Structure 1
Amino acid sequence: MAGSGGTGGENVSGRPGRRRRIVRVAATVVVAVLLAGGAYAADRQWGGGTESPKAASPSGAVSPAVAPTPAPSPTPEPGADITGPLNLLLVGVDTRVSVPGWEPHADAVLILHVTQALDQAYLFALPRDLVVQIPAFKKANFPGERTKLTHAMSYGSRVPGREKEPSTTQGYELLARTVSDYTGIKRFDAGAVLTFGGFDNLVDTLGGVELYIDQRVVSRHREPDGKHRVLRGGGYVGPQMVYEKGTRKLNGWQALDYARQRYTEGGGYARQRHQQQLIKALVGKILSQNLARDQARLGQVVTALDDALTFQGNGREIVEFGYALSRLRPEAITLVDLPGGGLGTGGGYRGEQLTSTSRRFISELRAGRAAEFLADNPKLVVKR
């Protein structure tokens, strides 16, 4: 669990505010990478104290050397006291900001578990239609209900007396509590919520992302030119974008559209796998651009996120998690596919449930034995 501690200290770069500004801007990118299932931290070589120059006398002679200014004591990195293991809840929400009162729905619910050494991680998703017990939530006047996981975000976002102003932060709170109850993970050390529009903009700002398409996917939502297909008579009409199998470079709307499709071989579970693959590819893209050394690019990425991002750090700042997870790299993130199946009585579909093997993985993860369990159950590991 994350420990306590401050982030204060003197500026060590020699220029007022420079180090703090760089770190904080880079830390915002960390949040995007947290959503991408990993972590990013700025290069920390901003310089340090220097000796004072020798003073010249009026005659031009060099006067005795002035004693060097003592270098300031090293400032502890933000988050230096954060220790593993860590559990992060990453949420992609479907919001329609143009519709007053539209409640956010959790379309992607992912958990990133980082090991004690903070250099290895496991990323897995829970089905949006997973049948769970959503607990009572006084802030939203919600009495509790056994229903699909995706509804926890929307039910929790309701603010009594402000029906047209749903709260994403409040919705995340109920979702996190619901996921915690289901998985047995007692606490999420940090979490982040990103709207689909924010994800779209992030990918475009990074110049697109290269992804291995593991099966032919036909879009229900987009035409080949990116236009939204028309919803008419209960169904979509018009030409459809098709993603052919193979390695492809996708722009923002394509990446998001591909990762959202669930009417494919494998259904919603294939969609979860595609989301995980996309997230890992995005981590690699961010890390490969060495953004810490390019302030202009950092600014572009931060602007792309705009108001589409909500971060919850339980009292800790974004920058703290950024530094704490700076050693985590894409190749150290294991994607885990948790199989499940439909749940219902008779001909009525109620939602999804995980298999006993999937539930056992979560138990072993909590106990710190994920690596051993996956070694015995290699089919759970997503290879690409």
Structure 2
Amino acid sequence: MLSGGALISSQVLVARYAGAVSTQNLFGDGGAASQGQSDIEGPLNILLAGIDPRDDTQAPRSDSIIVVHISAAMDQAYVFSIPRDLVVDIPPFAKTGFQGQRTKINAAMAAGSSVGNGKHDVTQGFELLAKTVSQLTGIKKFDAGAIVNFGGFKQIVDAMGGVTMTIDQNVKSEHLRPDGKHRPKSAACQRPQSGCDHPYIGPQKEYKKGTYHLEGWEALDYVRQRYGLPKSDYDRQRHQQQFIKAMAAQALSKDVVTNPIKLDKVLKAAGKSLIFDGGGHSVVDWGLALKGIGSQDMMLVKLTGGGIIENGRYQGEQLEASSTDFFAAVRNDRIPDFLLQNPEYLNSSV
């Protein structure tokens, strides 16, 4: 969406694909009547949730939670991730009878998703996730939101012909072999309730430090890894942010924009991977409103914290106290001032 404006060579082209994106009410507020892109004005806050593909009999979990803040001048985007294991107060949710609970934030979507008869609605789950993130950050209302299917990301990267990324640390895949096939589970871990933390065995795909052109499966596998990394999920959050920026740069490249066949594939893949709520505005409206923001205008921000240990057992993550000042800077559109005083919040964008 951030790079949508530059991808638009004509509104007719984008209108052709806008209907391919599933547009639903993700915030439970009934939406608003669109006045066109002209009334999309900064500052803006956009909530993104990344999920694995699941059918409606499984409760969804948001493995990635990302907030994008757009400056009042509509010329800069700040991207920050909420740790999936962050312990927060998930508020009550009348639609499911959920009474509220203090637990890891990635449980919010599951707690809000039940629609009865063993079925789950990911869009209803997003509503509770948004309420939880609002409560955490103090952002009263998000201007747009999207649920991103990780499998769809792979299709977008493949449609672009791969993505060039700088890998900033050596990473071994927990899930895949060097040929991209899934690693098998050990016999002990195949038993029900085995409790294996790392059930997979055999050779592992490895990603070495350096700049590489990755295929879709490689890029998706790389940004999903956290086991074995020095800072675990915090390293993974950084890699995911770097991936988003690299994807934007690749999408804006002449190799994609001026190639009608490749552009056609990219737009179709994007349509299949998103559920979007633009607050009453279409994807086209948002793409045109944000046409002045390119990949070079995206700043990656990291929230740091540490584990909560009770009676020798890991309970989840907690953020450093200064995060409350950062959230205030987001609400007041004063992020540059905050980053000048707290440069440790800047993430590497290599």
CA contact (8 A) 2:52 2:150 kept: yes
Structure (1 or 2) with the larger CA radius of gyration: 1
> Aligned runs of 1:210-249 on 2, under 5 Å?
210-232=164-186, 233=189, 234=196, 235-249=199-213
Instruction: Name the SS for the 2:285 alignment partner.
Output: helix
Q: Structure 1 residue aligned with 2:95, among 139, 151, 154?
A: 139
Match of 1:92 in 2: 50
- 2:39 is matched with 81
Q: What amino acid sits opposite 2:307 in the alignment?
A: G
Superposed, which structure 2 residues align to 1:1-384 within 5 Å? 21-25=12-16, 78-97=36-55, 101-161=57-117, 163-164=118-119, 166-232=120-186, 233=189, 234=196, 235-263=199-227, 264-289=229-254, 294-305=259-270, 307-383=272-348, 384=350
Q: Is the 8 A contact 1:229 1:236 kept in 2?
A: yes
Q: CA offset at residue 291 of structure 1?
A: 5.2
**How many angstroms does 1:305 deviate by?**
3.6
Going from structure 1 to structure 2, the CA distance change for 1:149 and 1:208 (only over 3 Å counts) comes to same
Partner of residue 73, structure 1: none
How far does the alpha carbon of each residue in 1:122-148 deviate from its partner, in whole angstroms, 9 at most, with x for none? Answer: 100000011111111122232211111
**Identical-residue share of aligned pairs (%):** 46
Relative contact order (C-alpha < 8 Å, sep 6+): which is higher? 2
Alpha-carbon RMSD across the aligned residues, in angstroms, is: 2.2
Say if 1:337 and 1:381, in contact at 8 Å, map to a contact too. Answer: yes
Q: Which residue of 2 aligns with 1:63?
A: none
What is aligned with 1:7? none
Note if contact 2:67-2:80 (Cα within 8 Å) is conserved in structure 1: yes
- Separation in structure 1 between the aligned mates of residue 21 and residue 41 of structure 2, nearest angstrom: 17
Q: Which runs of 5+ in 2 are unaligned?
A: 1-8, 23-34, 190-195
Mean Cα displacement is larger for which, 110-119 or 300-309?
Answer: 300-309
Equivalent residue, structure 2, for 1:14: none
Q: Which runs of 5+ in 1 are unaligned?
A: 1-17, 32-76
What does the per-residue CA deviation read over 1:168-223, in whole Å, with 9 as the maximum and x for residues that have no partner? 11111111111011100111100111111111111111111111111100110110
**Partner amino acid for 1:22?**
L
1:25–1:302 Cα contact (<8 Å) kept: no
| Counterpart residue number, 2:4 | none
TM-score of the two chains, using structure 1 as the length reference: 0.78
Counterpart contact for 1:215–1:244, Cα < 8 Å = yes
Q: 2:172, 2:271 → 1: CA distance? A: 30
- Supply the distance in 2 between the matched residues of 1:30 and 1:244 (Cα, whole angstroms): 35
Higher mean alpha-carbon deviation, 100-109 vs 290-299, is at: 290-299
How far 1:301 sits from its partner (Å)? Answer: 1.7
The SS at the match of 1:140 is: coil
User: Partners of 2:40 and 2:84 in 1: how far apart?
Assistant: 31
Contact 1:337 1:382 in 2 (8 A): yes
Q: Which residue of 2 aligns with 1:35?
A: none
Q: CA offset at residue 295 of structure 1?
A: 4.3
Alignment-mate amino acid for residue 96 of structure 1: R
